[in-house]
Amino acid sequence: MSRRIELVTGDITTHEVDAVVNAANSSLLGGGGVDGAIHRRGGPAIGAECRALRASRYGRGLPTGEAVATTAGRLPARWVIHTVGPVWSEREDRTPLLRACYTNSLRVAAELGAVSVAFPLISAGVYRWPKRDAVVQALDAIRTAPAGVDEVRLVLFDDASRAIADEVYAEVFG
């Protein structure tokens, strides 16, 4: 497979890629974390499309693990792909849902014709997924997803997450 996976540190809303993935919630109506940053910087066109999706296809919300695209508004990207990560649970293994966020987002990206996609570390903030395992699942799900998108960035927001990701990357690809 020719897919390139690159680790980057910083704010995902500044990335010039075809599609930026948003760690949304099922309401699609915005929130904090990366979701808040994407809606703020991308402007109201993103929220307007999200509300239209709620009214048409997702009256009960976007299910966890699924992904749907909207405009990227004023972001330097063509699309935002909204996906809903699982909330971390001690009692239940929700790993398949976390991995589905990556594979479904890549499928939607490929359907759109996106060549480059940037992901945040889904579920690793407000949803409390342990950072290291969040990176393991992200890299492995991206690596093994069907072909279609050639260039994938995993954007780590801070240096501590980046250091964990560098270690995991070396283990997964080294």
Binding residues for ligand AR6, rule: CB under 6 A, are: 11-13, 23-25, 31-35, 37, 85, 120-127, 155, 157, 161
Taking the complex as a whole, the smallest distance from the CB of residue 106 to ligand AR6 amounts, in Å, to 17
Residues with Cβ < 8 Å from 10, sequence gap 6 or more? 155, 156, 157
Contact yes or no for 20/8 (Cβ under 8 A): no
- 69-72: Cβ within 8 A, 24+ apart: 69/19, 69/108, 69/109, 69/112, 70/46, 71/45, 71/46, 72/19, 72/20, 72/42, 72/46
Active-site residue (options: 11, 18, 35, 93): 35
Taking the complex as a whole, the smallest distance from the CB of residue 31 to ligand AR6 amounts, in Å, to 2
3-state secondary structure of 119: strand
Contact yes or no for 4/152 (Cβ under 8 A): yes
Which residue's CB is nearer to ligand AR6, number 116 or number 123? 123
Which residue's CB is nearer to ligand AR6, number 113 or number 167? 167
Taking the complex as a whole, the smallest distance from the CB of residue 173 to ligand AR6 amounts, in Å, to 21
Which residue's CB is nearer to ligand AR6, number 32 or number 113? 32
Taking the complex as a whole, the smallest distance from the CB of residue 168 to ligand AR6 amounts, in Å, to 14
Name the nearest CA neighbour of 162 among 111, 118, 122, 121. Answer: 121
> Per DSSP, what are the bridge partners of residue 91?
none
Which residue's CB is nearer to ligand AR6, number 33 or number 61? 33
Residue 35 appears among annotated catalytic residues:
yes
Q: Which residue numbers are catalytic?
A: 35
